[in-house]
Structure 1
Amino acid sequence: MVKHQDRALDHIFAALSDPTRRALIARLGEKDSLSVSELAAPFSISLPAIMKHLDVLTDAGLIVREKTGRTVSCRLTAQPMEQAMNWLNRYAQFWSESFDRLAAFVEDKPWSTQPPTSPKVQPRAQASPSRDGSARGRTKSSRPGRKPSN
């Protein structure tokens, strides 16, 4: 049973991951039922692209399509969203309790408002004169038998 629920949640969250599909869901949330052409009207994508998005939402169980004559209408279904909300609420409770514990810990230990003092930085030692001189006095090496060009 757990595996089936995990797969269902995967489909729900995958369907909701796309902004176009979330916008379709939002439009369906405003009205009880809308035809596919009404749903597609504000979008600048093709009707076949909208149909593919609706297929994903249908496969996830988030919407139901009903055909009456030549008109296909869509409406939201609540059950999959309830599953997703239950899953999210369980983890929201976990994180809320964790943040409450963190807040209690922080409130018990007063924080210093002054910046931490940094260790004093020792000035770097300068390179020895012998190293500086040796780098300047070198000539470019060349292949054997050739003189370097100036």
Structure 2
Amino acid sequence: MSWAATDLASPAWLDIAREYTEFWVHQQQIRDAVSRPGADDPDLLGPVIDTFLRALPRTLQAEIRPEGTAMRFVVTGPAGGVWHVTRQAGRWRMAPGDPANGPVAHVTMDQDALWRLASRGITVEEARRRSGTQGDRGLTSAATTLLAVVR
């Protein structure tokens, strides 16, 4: 995956998840165009958000920090949750649970802004206006440019 930081080959589940997100985003764009409610039930949107946040390690790749540095990304709303990335072995990796030393950066974004940012349905500037950030400005600035689609 060019947008997700994975080791040599992407796992099959990530390929399937990418296909699902593509379908879901196109459906949302049609719903927006005809002023219909979105498919934002947590069972439908939750996997999209989780898949899109797999792009965080790639998004942060130019941000070199000491080993063990972590950041937290919180998505608010019923389909949201908390994701962490940690600098390990010279690169950023998705990390389960809370980091041992606590995050040095924190981004909070609502679920609508996240999917629109990740698919470029809104600009980075709009996503930043709709976000809260704390801590390391380089990391929060980079994280709020997240792009999880192939352009």
TM-score range, shorter chain: under 0.3
Compare CA radii of gyration and give the structure with the larger one. Answer: 1
Q: TM-score, normalised by structure 2?
A: 0.27
Higher relative contact order (CA 8 A, sep 6+): 2
Q: Which structure has the highest strand share of the two?
A: 2
